[in-house]
Amino acid sequence: AFVVTENCIKCKFTDCVDVCPVDCFHEGPNFLVIDPDECIDCTLCEPECPANAIFSEDEVPEDQQEFIELNATLSKEWPSITEVKAALPDADEWNGKENKKQYLEK
């Protein structure tokens, strides 16, 4: 499956949901996740993310490994999102900031 990682936090551009053929994105307050049981590895979402937050599970960076489990668990709790919406306020300023994990709202 593909995995949404830390740099989505506080950005949530949502370009990714537009291209997913199986609607497997789920939305939290300031982060999106992919349901690994629904993702068909089509790869379409990865290049759409302006924050470069999406990776194939086997290419998730070492310091982002915990997001594999976070996508699996939070996708079962959060509602589905299938349509693009406005990014979060200050998304451009937060894009690329380090240590955003502490701001993840569940």
Q: Which of residues 46-85 bind ligand F3S (CB under 6 A)?
A: 48-49, 51, 53-54
Sorted by sequence, the CB contacts under 8 Å of residue 44 that are 6+ apart come out as 19, 20, 21
Using CB under 6 A, pick the residue from 19, 68, 72, 84 that binds ligand SF4. 19
- Residue 25, number of CB atoms within 10 A of its CB: 24
Per CB under 6 A, contacts with ligand SF4 among 40-69 are 40-45
Our finding on whether 8 is near ligand F3S (CB under 6 A) is yes
One-letter identity of residue 97: K
Return all residues near 40 (Cβ < 8 A) that are at least 6 apart.
21, 22
14 contact choice in ligand SF4, ligand F3S, none (CB below 5 to 8 Å, kind-dependent): ligand F3S
Q: Which of 1, 3, 10, 16 binds ligand F3S (CB under 6 A)?
A: 16
Question: What are 35's two structure tokens?
Answer: 């349901």
Catalog residues that contact ligand SF4 under the rule CB under 6 A: 2, 19-20, 22, 24, 34, 39-45
